[in-house]
Chain A
Amino acid sequence: MDFRFSAEEEAFRQEIRDWLKHNLPENWTGDRFTRSDENMNVYRQFAQRLSTKKWVAPHWPVEYGGLGLSVIEQLIFNEEMSYANAPIGYSTIGVGWAGPTIIVYGTDQQKKEHLGAITNAETMWCQGFSEPNAGSDLANLATRAVKDGDDYVINGQKIWTSGAHYADWMILIARTDQEAPKHKGISYFLVDMKTPGISTRPLIDMMNNHGFNEVFFENARVPKDCLLGEENRGWYMATTTLDFERSSIGGAVGAQKMLEELVDYTRDTPVNGHRLSDEINVKVRLADAAVEAELGRLLSYRVAAMQARGLVPNYESSIAKLFNTDMQLRMAKAGMEIMGLYGQLEPKSKWVALKGRFERQYLWQTGLAVGGGTTEIQKNIIAQRGLGMPRG
């Protein structure tokens, strides 16, 4: 057992920090919450800078544009990017979802067409999975892809598609066999967002952002080489834990940053002759938050450590994701409580403190607790897959 990183790993960490010192965008506010054309440009430009170091997907094999980083190095990389609040949003789906699935299941042609474009930050991807009637019950999806000669014709609707209004490509799961049992009739497609018949409708979120969309398919015709892997194997391709970094370290680090900002704020805020940090309620909350932030990091490290040993984390990833999501929610709540009346101020308000980050986080976290697998589904996975509890 060893909680230290090796000298080489620490050197890599320092290399990332040094690079970030000179390469974070000028005037970057660290605002990860606002979805705007301006922010998207910042993300795109930063991704292009990363690509010069092959740091868009550094953990991919060298032959696909990565550096073949070890799991621990991946962890360190993600940790440092999160800690610096780096604007890495451009490549999230491409690097985290599309690319790895193409690497495992793609033809040479598909790999050639897409992987380089991802690592060069030339293309942006979105994820067409959820539908209005297929949220937690994703296998209930109804979007159809019907074979027609050399093409598939797609009809249906996706929802919560982040970035669809910017994306060049979509990873789409659609039903190719209407007769088969739900999970066995789904296929995985790589779809050009410029395909005629595809349209997007903005969904404004409660933070007043246009972040996600509905995407409609009306007789959208795609060539059959858009099919990824085998027909009707899409469900398993989409839901298998891919062999890449799955520690949720980003969430853990995000919490650490929140904590540090809160400590600084309370220490620097005078209240009638004493400091906010002198108040017992504040101390208790900060202490709790500190303990949880440490725990979140450890649960993330545990996932990476398993992978580094060649083990395949299963419900352990769910534990890390669930704990870090819930913990951030608690920390946002604690931050709001500590800031009192000031906590309610939005970033653009006069008198706002800490750039309104806690107000934004408080709202944002409610989305994180349902996106990418709700808290309840995560708990089911932990109980059923992890602990062997019988399904109800």
Chain B
Amino acid sequence: MDLGLDEQQEMLKNFARDFLEKECPEQLVREMEEDEKGYSPELWKKMAQQGWMGLIIPDKYDGTGMNVCELVVLLEEFGRALVPGPFISTVVLGGVPIMEAGTEEQKQQFLPKIASGELIMTMALTEPSAKWTADGVQLEAKKDGSDYVLNGTKLFVQDAHVSDYMVVAARTGGSGEDGITLFLVDSKSPGIKFEVLKTIAADKQCEVTFDNVKVPASNMLDAEGKGWPIIEKTKDVATVAACAYLVGLSQMDFDVTLNYAKERVQFGRPIGSFQAIQHKLADAVIDVDGSRFITYKAAWSLQEGEPDAGMMISMAKAWTSDASRRVVAHGQQIHGGIGFTKEYKIQLYFRRQKWMELMWGDADYHRELVAQKLEV
């Protein structure tokens, strides 16, 4: 039993940290909040050159052939640097369904381009009902000759407006988990409209409307009506990815806050010398460390195909969602007035925490899953 990183993971982490410190400074993060696309094509290209987009794509498709644990190590660094843009959308939401269920032809068509950074993707799952469960999928797909015609609205779709392709969850029949079909949809198809929502984290979630959008049947992933298990597998990876990002984000928020508590002097002493502040910091480090190890466990369980992987993933997201919020709340409080300003960095972590807390199920949602798995 060894809970540390292996040599390869350690190298990946250190390299990513240095790289992102240089290539994704605070200035860029702030610029991307206002930017229409929400990511920097220059940074995107540089990340692709490191092999990061292909991190979990097999060698065969020009990927790096690593696994979920390495992805978690990398994404913790992304969270630490608040990397903006469609990385998780492309690599996880686009890549995983194709790897899971794509035909050889589809894999050849899409995976190398994801790995090279040429393709940006996302998954369009949630709708205005804002549910992560199968009954939330109501967007219609009707067979029409050799095509399917899609009608409906998707909401809270990450980075849809800059995507080249979307994996769209549509209902071809049935109800609940039966009858959901996944389609690889060209984002430039006639009938698709995007509108970027304004969110607390200034990330780019979109409304995507489908008005008689034609999709060739050959763009179906796996078989008609069999989409839900693919979505579940994608959700697993995406949930772990969100946890990893939160770990990095909350660790950095904590580091900045710890430093501030040591340096800020009031009443003739650093405020970190006051017991009230020390207790908050102690609470925060428990939250951060706990988040990291439960995320590692979830990633490892998923990677190894452990029977309780689903439980671990939900535990990780339930804990990390709440824990990260507590950490960033302490970060704001300990900073006092300066924490409330736009200029000072700590609010960047506070606002972004909410985004990943909600993505792929919030704490309530995952606690319910944990309870179900406990057979309560």
Contact = CB atoms under 8 A, between A and B. Distances in A.
Contact of A340 (B135, B350, B362): B362
Given A205-B340, A272-B136, A370-B337, A350 B266 contact: no
B329 A205 contact: no
A204 interface: yes
A308 to B, nearest CB: 34
Contacts, number: 114
A263 to B, nearest CB: 18
A336 interface: yes
B276 A376 contact: yes
Interface string B274-316: 1111000000000000000000000000000000000000000
B342 A272 contact: no
Interface in A347-389: 348-352, 359, 362-363, 366-367, 369-371, 374-376, 379
A392 B274 CA distance: 9
A63 B240 CA distance: 67
Identify the interface centre among B325, B337, B355: most chain A CB within 10 Å of its CB: B337
A370 B341 contact: no
B336 A344 contact: no
Interface string A318-339: 0000000000000001001100
B354 interface: yes
Interface in B115-132: 126, 128-131
Interface stretch (A54-62, A73-81, A133-141): A133-141
A281 B275 CA distance: 34
Contacts of A296: none
Contacts of B337: 130, 135, 159-160, 367, 370-371
Interface stretch (B8-16, B49-57, B60-68, B197-205): B197-205
Interface in B171-208: 195, 197-201, 207
Contact of B200 (A136, A337, A346, A375): A346
Nearest to B328: A366
Given A345-B198, A345-B199, A370 B333 contact: yes
A363 B329 CA distance: 10
A203 interface: yes
Contacts of A203: 341, 343
Given A203-B343, A204-B343, A281-B364, A366 B136 contact: no
A342 B136 CA distance: 15
Interface string B328-348: 010011011101111100010
A380 B227 CA distance: 58
A351 B205 CA distance: 12
Contacts of A204: 341-343
Interface residues of B, number: 46
Contacts of A366: 329, 332-333, 339-340, 350
B107 interface: no
Interface residues of A, number: 44
B267 A136 contact: yes
B351 interface: yes
B195 A344 contact: no
B245 interface: no
Interface string B360-376: 00111000000000000
A377 to B, nearest CB: 10
B199 A346 contact: yes
B229 to A, nearest CB: 21
A129 to B, nearest CB: 12
A206 B340 contact: yes
A391 to B, nearest CB: 10
Given A137-B267, A272-B135, A341 B126 contact: yes
A337 B130 CA distance: 13
Contacts of B275: 392
27 contacts: A133-B265, A133-B266, A135-B336, A135-B337, A137-B267, A137-B268, A205-B340, A272-B135, A341-B130, A344-B199, A344-B355, A345-B197, A345-B198, A345-B200, A349-B197, A349-B198, A350-B195, A350-B197, A359-B200, A362-B354, A363-B200, A370-B332, A370-B333, A370-B335, A375-B333, A379-B276, A392-B275
Interface of B: 126, 128-131, 135-136, 155-156, 195, 197-201, 207, 265-268, 271, 274-277, 325, 329, 332-333, 335-337, 339-343, 347, 350-351, 354-355, 358, 362-364
Given A346-B199, A367-B337, A370-B335, 20 more contacts: A133-B265, A133-B266, A135-B266, A135-B336, A137-B268, A159-B337, A203-B341, A206-B347, A208-B342, A271-B129, A341-B155, A346-B200, A348-B198, A349-B198, A350-B207, A351-B197, A363-B351, A366-B329, A370-B339, A371-B337
- Please name the 9 residue pairs, one residue from A and one from B, whose CB atoms are nearest each other, closest first: A349-B198, A137-B266, A206-B347, A346-B198, A367-B340, A204-B342, A341-B130, A366-B332, A344-B199
